[in-house]
Every structure is written in structure tokens, then in C-alpha cells.
Structure 1
Amino acid sequence: MDSHEQLTNGLKKGAIVAISSAPFGILFGAIAVDNGFSITEAALMSGLVYGGASQLVGIELFGHHVAAWVIVLSILAVNFRHILYSAALTPVLGRYPHVQRWLAFFLLVDPQFAETVKREDSCKPATFRWYFAMGAVVWVSWILTTVIGAFFGRMIGDPKALGIDVLLPIYFLGLTMGFRSRHNFIPVMLAGAIGSVAAFHIVGSPWHISVGAALGILVAAILPPPKMHEEPDVSEIEREAM
């Protein structure tokens, strides 16, 4: 693909993600004002933190006047998966110059990771032009939908009473199922799910996210890797031909 096609494709991918993630941005904005944030403060948090799940956890803890160190550790637990994302994308992000690489790290959220992996798997290089085009659209839309949710948040009332809070788990489930064709998907997914549910009841939220992720990684490391296609033995083929 030439530069124009990379830019266009990145913008299209970003637009699709922006539309699908709009309810979460609106949900965060509504919850933010419900916990005492102003519209400006909610928009700044979305623009600077830029992490849907961690923002929702953080805003709830802010509303309950929890100690700052607890909030930081809780957000770290939720965002632990981003360490895994950056490690998995080392072959991709390592191709970018340093400045572009740091910008790519900032834009590395869940859909950005998923689409980048899918693009590389389809033998299409995830160039920085493509990566940034997609990420910028999602980032801007996240801020805009946060403002919309914050502006109309008082009209919504309690988002949980309307069942809007279930949107985030459904969204993550959709991202996970996008990798269902990968090797050892079922055992790794089940290990992560069981570990997360067990940890939720034992140690509570948000630590169950990191525990589930760690257990999934452990199972993935123990299970055998996918079998590589073996090259045919040339001498054996020649003997059969004689």
C-alpha cells in the first residue's frame, strides 16, 4: 500500500473503533460528572490518561475519596495488560524512530493493539502513518464523546440503573473473541477467565484483571507452541522419484 492508502485505511479503522467505543466515552463522561468532575476535568482525564477501564476505576475511587496511592496502584493493576501489549508489538514499534515510538506507546489502547496484530498477521505492515491515523481518530473521538457524556450526564442519572455499565465487559469480550482462531486460544482464555473470577472473589477488584492475565500467560507459556510446517526432505523425494 502507498502512503495515501495507508493513511486512508488507518482513518477508516479508527472511525470504526470510534463509533463502537462511543458509548464507553459517553459512559465515562456521565460517571465523571456524577462523581463531582467538571466537563473540563473529565475531558482532560480522557485526553491525558486515555485508558477507558482505568479511567472508570479511577473515577469511582476519586468519588469515594480513596487515598491517592491506592488509586495509582489500582490503575496500575488495570493497565498491566498494556505492558504485555507493548512487549507483543516490539517487532512493530521497534521499526519506528524514537519520537514516533513514544507517541505510538501513548496511543496503544486495546483496539489499537488488536488491529495492529491483525494487520501484521495479514502480511500488511503496520506503518507509523497507518498506526497514527487510526490512533488519532480514536483519541479525538474519545475526548469528544467524554464531553458529550459529561454534558448530558445529569440527564442520564445513574448509568448503572440503566445497565450501561455492562457495555465495557461486552466490548472486551468482543476484542478477545477476535483472536479465537489463534493457537491454544481456548485453554488460555479459560485460564484467564477462571483466574480472574476467582481473584475477584478472593482479593477483589481491580486486582483480578492482573491475576487473570498472569494466569493466562502462564498457561500459554506451558502449552506447546504451534507446529511449524516441516520442509520436505529433498533427498527422500529424489529417492521416491527413482
Structure 2
Amino acid sequence: MSFSEPITTSGQIRNGLKKGFVIVLSSAPFGILFGAIAIDNGFSMAEAALMSAFVFGGASQLVGIELFGHHVAAWMIVLSVLAVNFRHVLYSAAVSPIFGRFPLLKRCLSFFLLTDPQFAETEKREEQTPVTFAWYIAMGGVVWIGWVGNTIVGALFGSLIGDPKAIGIDVLLPVYFLGLVMGFRKRHNFLPVLVAGAVGSVVAYWVVGSPWHISVGAALGIVVAAILPPPGASDHDVKDPALETEAA
């Protein structure tokens, strides 16, 4: 285990700010796109910014705003957003041992700031050195401010983008998520879980449609991960010949 990362509070904050700034740059197109779409669907700039500030859920915001623009029933919008954000239930369970080290109020704030890249970076850092609240809040705060700021930029200048599909912006989100997934490629049973989730999601997309395919793919990946043996299980299955001789 490496402890090369800075251990002082100021060092942790600097590292968190750096990680957060990278995330802000990579997520900027999504925030700008959301701001533009929100304006197109009748939101004011203030309403779009407030939605980003309080919902803070990129993909679910895009889904919700599109459904809102098509005058879909409120209960259907809520269920669709729940389907998209179902993965956060899994994220929360995974990081609970980490957040359990924080006081209650800090723990609640940490869960609010838990996004896809925040989860990925937190898991990777915990493998090297214990995650502190100073590091986490520095990264999460930068990402939150950047997301709201990019939403405002999109609301102001989104009309200059034109058709997102014409310049390939519509593929940025799946490419971005693929990059996050590949960051865990060295994890135990990564490939079978990835294949199960991908196949389940594609099949569900054609059978039940979007956004439910996200939850179906995630659920299938969980089932496969639960069935497969955990790390080191094969070592425990090897019997000691000496013990077998004594038993005989």
C-alpha cells in the first residue's frame, strides 16, 4: 500500500482541488448542454441554476428536463429520474464504511456530493490512503461549483451550440461513463460483471426502453458479482494435505 500522497490537511485540500478541477473540465460539456436544454424547455437561467445546485445529478437532470419539455406526467418524471439514479444506492452502500468515519452533518454533505466521478476517485484514493473529509469536500465543492457555473454558461450561450448531434456532443456522456468504468478494470471479476451489465442494459433498452435499461443492467451486474467467488476464494478452497491425512 502506497502512502505517497500528502498527509497534511493543506496537502489533502490541494489534492482534492486538483482532482475536482479535472472533473469540472471533463464534465463542462454536460453542464453547458443541460443549461442550453433547460432554456429551450422554458426554464429561466435562475431555475436551471437552482436545479443544478439542488438536484446535482447530471444524467438525471438531462432526462428530467427532456421529459418536462414533453409535458410528461410528474410521477413518470420522478420514476424516470429514480431509474437513472438507482446506481447511487449502490455507490452509497460502497462508500458507507468511508463516510462512517465522518460526523453526521459531514456525512450528509458527503452523500449529497456523491456523483459518479466523486465515487470513482474516492474508491481509488481509499486504496492508497484513508479518505479524509478535507480531501473529499475540496474535490466535491469544486465539482459542485463548476457544475452550477457551467449550467449558467449554457443557459446564457447555449443557443450558439445548435444541434448537439451535429457536432457529436450527444456521445460525450456515454464515452465519459465508459472512462469511469474502465478505471476499475483491475478489480476482481471486472470483465464478467462488465459484460453482464452491458448485455443486460442493451437487451433492456430494446425491451423496456430508456431509462429503465440503466437499472436493469446495474441489477444484472450486481447479481453476477454476487454469484462469482470473491477475491482469494480459490485459495481457501485448496485443502491442506496434512489436514486430510490427520482426518484419515
TM over 0.5: yes
Once the 2 structures are TM-superposed, how far is the Cα of residue 160 of structure 1 from its aligned partner?
2.8
| TM-score, with structure 1 as normaliser | 0.92
The code of the aligned residue for 1:82 comes to H
Q: TM-score with structure 2 length normalisation? A: 0.90
1:172 aligns with 177
For 1:6, the equivalent position in structure 2 comes to 12
Q: Which one of 191, 196, 206 corresponds to residue 191 of structure 1?
A: 196
Partner of 1:26: 32
Give 1:197-216 correspondences, 5 Å limit: 197-216=202-221
CA offsets, 1:30-84, max 9 Å, x none? 1111222111111111101000000000010000000000000000000000000
Which of 156, 163, 174 is matched with 1:158 structurally? 163
Amino acid at match of 2:125: R
In structure 2, the residue matched to 1:222 is 227
- Is the counterpart of residue 132 in structure 1 residue 137 in structure 2? yes
Q: CA deviation at 1:162?
A: 2.7
CA RMSD of aligned residues (A): 1.3
- Corresponding position: 1:143 with 2:148: yes
Q: What is the one-letter code of the residue matched to 1:20? A: S
Q: Does 1:40 align with 2:46?
A: yes
Partner of residue 118, structure 1 = 124
Given the alignment of the two structures, is residue 76 of structure 1 paired with residue 82 of structure 2, yes or no? yes
Stretches of structure 1 lacking an aligned partner (at least 5 in a row) = 231-235, 237-242
Distance in 1 between residues matched to 2:27 and 2:131, nearest whole Å: 22
In structure 1, what is the Cα distance between the partners aligned to 2:196 and 2:176?
Answer: 20
Amino acid paired to 2:143: V
Unmatched 5+ stretches in structure 2: 1-6, 237-241, 243-248
Distance 1:199 1:162 in 2: 28
Task: Look up the equivalent residue of 1:119 and give its one-letter code.
Answer: R
CA contact (8 A) 1:27 1:165 kept: no
1:121: how far off? 1.0
- 1:88 deviates by 0.3
- Contact 1:61/1:71 (CA < 8 Å) preserved in 2? yes
Aligned length: 230
Q: Which residue of 2 aligns with 1:239?
A: none
In the alignment, the residues of structure 2 paired with residue 62 and residue 165 of structure 1 have an alpha-carbon distance, to the nearest angstrom, of 19
Q: Does structure 2 retain, via aligned residues, the 8 Å contact 1:10–1:132?
A: yes
